[in-house]
Amino acid sequence: MIIVWSDEARKTYDYTIDELIDKWEIEIAIDFEEKTNALLDHLKEYKKFCPPSKKKRLRKCVIHKNTSLIYKINKNSIELVTFIDNHTEHRY
């Protein structure tokens, strides 16, 4: 399976990395990046690795207690929809 990043996913991922660097240390951002990459490797092998979210056809992976990834499974790809802050109210 191939991984496809939506514009929203790229934007929210970059924002998360920038926030980690600004508020914490570079090592925290690197750790988040490594956890995200490991998760994406799992998704390539097991597309249903994470449980379904509240919204139909979407799945939610907790990367860290503060951040989750929302994705959907398409016929030939896994589309990364967005990264969300777990402490805010969201529709996923």
Q: Is the pLDDT at 57 greater than 80, yes or no?
A: yes
Q: Is the pLDDT at 80 greater than 70, yes or no?
A: yes
- Write the DSSP symbol of residue 24: S
Burial grade of 16 (CB within 10 A; 0-12, 13-18, 19 or more): buried
Cβ count within 10 A of residue 73: 15
| pLDDT, tens digit (0-9, with 9 covering 90-100), for 11-45 | 999 999 999 999 998 999 999 999 999 999 999 99
Please state, in angstroms and as integers, the Cα–Cα distance from residue 79 to each residue in 19, 54, 67, 91, following that order.
23, 17, 17, 18
- Which of the four pLDDT bands, split at 50, 70 and 90, describes residue 6? very high
